[in-house]
Amino acid sequence: MSIQRIQCGKRMSQAVIANGMVFLAGQVAADKAGASVTEQTQNILDRIDALLKEAGTDKTKLLSATIWLTDIRTFDEMNAVWDAWLPEGGAPARATVESRLAATHYNVEIGIVAAL
């Protein structure tokens, strides 16, 4: 089995391609730290689009998503951005949970698995 790593660092890769699937690391709004949940979610989805493109796929091939929110009361705010981004009929299996994130200036983190 061939494994390809994208933006591989010491601790993690931003994406790993194996067996016809792309596994993205949890993405945070690195360009929008401290911004609203709406802005952070849009920034993350833009990052996901770019990583999927680099891996040779796109959001029409999403298989699963895990979303972490620091405050579940922002669920509707995040979903407004998510719903506008998601292709019609292309909803992946998804879990959304409330959790503390690694850095306090991030309010949203999203992990994705997609097919090639």
Q: Supply the CATH classification number for the domain 3-115.
A: 3.30.1330.40
Nearest to 108 by CA among 17, 22, 46: 46
The pLDDT, as a whole number, for residue 109 is 98
pLDDT tens per residue across all 116 residues of the chain: 899 999 999 999 999 999 999 999 999 999 999 999 999 999 999 999 999 999 999 999 999 999 999 999 999 999 999 999 999 999 999 999 999 999 999 999 999 999 99
β-bridge pairing 13-18 and 3-8: antiparallel
Helical pair 75-85 and 37-55, crossing angle rounded to 10 deg: 40
Q: Which 8-state DSSP code applies to residue 60? A: G
| Number of neighbouring beta carbons within 10 Å of residue 15 | 22
The pLDDT, as a whole number, for residue 74 is 98
**Phi, then psi, of 51 in degrees rounded to 5:** -65, -40
**Where along the chain do its domains lie?**
3-115
